[in-house]
Structure 1
Amino acid sequence: MILLDIGVLAEKSGVPASTLRYYEEIGLIESLGRRGLRRQFGPGALTQLALISLGKTAGFSLEEIKDAFGKRGVTSLPRQALHKRADDIDAQIRKLTTLRNVLRHVAECSAPSHMECPKFQALLRLAPHSQAPVTARPEVKTRRR
């Protein structure tokens, strides 16, 4: 069996070595040994990292992803949770599609004011009514200098 050094695994997966060490610490992946001070991983680690990435992209927490893994990979996929998350993603897609349509219309509308435009008013009625903004990624705070 070919073992992957942590640096090689980081390079092939695009996941930083520090994150790989954290994933190992919390039990998401498992090293098979060490060569000197460097952790060694089996080729299955790449598959597990791809599944972790997919799970994170789908909105599952690391704890939820860990619960789906056994010692040797994925052992149980919570199908009901997957269906619910897929439904949540469908709802988010609808909200984002409406938002995109509103933004494009406002950008291209020839009315003197978009507030006077009947199409814009119709799009507003379709817009999500929650106070929380729909975002594709978490807000990142930057420090002002």
Structure 2
Amino acid sequence: MLDISELSRESGVPASKLRYYEEVGLIRSIGRKGLRRVFEPDVLPRLALIALGQAAGFSLVEIREMLGQEKEPSIDRNMLAAKADAVDRHIKELSALRDGLRHAATCTAPSHLECPTFQRLMRIALTRQGMRKKVRPTR
């Protein structure tokens, strides 16, 4: 059994975050040792799954739904596939943005506003912000 400070030290997760995770139903303590919450050691892999879910862009609510309350999580493979597709789309967008920024950094146009690639970047940024219909960049 691990008290909250031991769990925090072993997992690298601050005690305040562990208390919050317990409050929202992501982890469960099994009791108290004095004033400190006590957890079973099998909460460590669960914390790793929570960290992985957050790194993948899942919300804590989505992570809680996937992990459930049981010791063995029941992870929805369709949710994982959908998130992987979303990550792929984000990677493509970021790659295009990176390429456009690299071009703009070396563009020989007299002004960035005269560079067609930079103008395309601005239009994409406006579209992503939902502003394209309100404001149009100069051509």
Equivalent residue letter for 2:2: L
Q: What per-residue deviation string (whole Å, max 9, x for no partner) do you get for residues 105-128 of structure 1?
A: 21222332334446x269649946
Alignment-derived partner of residue 137 in structure 1:
none
C-alpha distance in structure 2 between counterparts of 1:126 and 1:80, whole Å:
33
Q: 2:97 aligns with which of 86, 90, 99?
A: 99
Q: What per-residue deviation string (whole Å, max 9, x for no partner) do you get for residues 49-105 of structure 1?
A: 111111122222212111122333343111111111110110001001111111122
Name the Cα RMSD after superposition. Answer: 2.4
C-alpha distance in structure 2 between counterparts of 1:71 and 1:124, whole Å:
45
Paired residue total:
129
Alignment-derived partner of residue 2 in structure 2:
4
Alignment-derived partner of residue 70 in structure 1:
68
Secondary structure in 2 aligned to 1:34? strand
Compute the displacement of 1:15 (Å): 1.6
CA distance 1:28–1:121, shift in 2 (3 Å):
closer
Equivalent residue letter for 2:68: G
Under a length normalisation based on structure 2, what TM-score does the superposition of the two structures give?
A: 0.78
Equivalent residue letter for 1:59: G
C-alpha distance in structure 2 between counterparts of 1:116 and 1:69, whole Å:
52
Secondary structure in 1 aligned to 2:32? strand
Secondary structure in 1 aligned to 2:128? coil
C-alpha distance in structure 2 between counterparts of 1:70 and 1:96, whole Å:
33
Alignment-derived partner of residue 108 in structure 2:
110
Alignment-derived partner of residue 20 in structure 2:
22
Question: What pairs up with 1:52-63 in 2 under 5 angstroms?
Answer: 52-63=50-61
Under a length normalisation based on structure 1, what TM-score does the superposition of the two structures give?
A: 0.75
Q: Identity over aligned residues, as a percent? A: 52
Counting helix residues as a fraction of each chain, which structure ranks higher? 2
Structure 2's unaligned 5+ residue stretches are 131-139
Is the CA contact (8 Å cut-off) linking 1:31 and 1:39 kept in structure 2? yes
C-alpha distance in structure 2 between counterparts of 1:125 and 1:25, whole Å:
43
Secondary structure in 2 aligned to 1:73? coil
